[in-house]
Amino acid sequence: MLPYEKRSEVCGSSGEKETTNPFLGKDFISVDQIASRKEIEYLFLVADKMKERIILKKIGDELKESTVAILFYQPSTRTFSSFLAAAQWLGCSRVIDIHGMGVYSSAVKGESLRDTIRTIEATTAADLIVLRHPDDDSSRIAAEVASVPVINGGSGREEHPTQAILDLYSIREELGRIDDLVVTMIGDLRNGRTIKSLAKLLALSGRDVKFNFLSPEALRMPEKIITYLKSRGTEVLEENSDRLESILEETDVLYVTRVQSEWFVKQTTERLKTVLLPEFGEMEEGALIVLAKELAEKEYRKAVEGYVIDSGKLGRAKNNMRVMHPFPRLGEIAYEVDKDPRAAYFRQMRNGLYTRMALLAAVLGKA
């Protein structure tokens, strides 16, 4: 039994609540657990109500009796702040927010994630835990040991389900539909967790969706994701930056991701160490690592050059196309694009507040 199914008893076996609120009492750790388009539509309806509330500046009281623990082992601006604000807008006065778990918690002393989750639950009486962690399986591990729902705020390079929810909601808000779309994703498709989750969610909930994946050869979308998309009848085209401008002519959603230097340089350094070893075998390991890292950084700069979006490239794009980005950006979208009405990424960020409010309320049975 998957961890997010372990609290099925909270929803009842066939009661009305299970039908109307498919998220009640459950973990949310992967878009794979979304069973149907109806579940997305339910969450979007709740998000619409939250949006109206924010516009009217009305703070709710749904979570006034709840305790939410937000535990982040990795840096975050948007996900952390929006979950924190979401809990507060829902009237939650007991928010345990620790940004820097890897620095300020007993993880520094070697404490396991399993023990940390149990400790937080025991010491705070949390009703729900939001977790971000660098390990791919972190949210699944947390869900296995926690007796309260766990929401994945980003795990390793594999999953960022709440980002996918807000991205899909943003597409609906911007274009009025999630069907009949040409979605072009560019940048680091290998290491980016946001694009993997969104691609799977679009294939699951959208109809007649076509994907264009543009990336350097070393940063291609993992084959398992391609296989999944094709298994759902989704058309997939893989290209490099040479065809970017022509592909933009047919694109409805351009989803840009940064080439993640932290992953790229680490992976390339390890590869180059192996390549350089026969030639520089006499070099001490420290010097070899420095040389490999320097070459890796040069490869990184070369990799990002062809994937910069500026006003010139957008000149061939549709007038109603939308540019999205999960942020942070590191130069892959020129600042001049911010003035283009097709630039949706800051509106996309705001939608994260609405959808995360909706998810917190739904999981805790207060939607």
Residues carrying an active site annotation: 78-79, 109, 132, 160
DSSP labels, 191-242 = T-HHHHHHHHHHHHH-SSEEEEEE--GGGPPPHHHHHHHHHTT-EEEEE-GG
Residue 54 amino acid letter: I
272 vs 243: CA distance, rounded Å: 29
Q: Is 318 left (phi over 0), alpha (psi -120 to 50) or beta?
A: beta
The Cβ-side half-sphere exposure at 259, using a 13 Å CA radius, reads: 27
In Å, what is the CA distance from 59 to each residue of 24, 129, 231, 347, 367?
Answer: 22, 22, 44, 21, 14
Count the neighbouring beta carbons within 10 Å of the beta carbon of residue 117.
25
CB 147 within 8 A of CB 3: no
What does residue 81 show for φ and ψ, rounded to 5 degrees?
A: -65, -35
CB 183 within 8 A of CB 195: no
Enter the tokens of residue 207.
């109809």
Count the neighbouring beta carbons within 10 Å of the beta carbon of residue 329.
17
Enter the tokens of residue 22.
């498919």
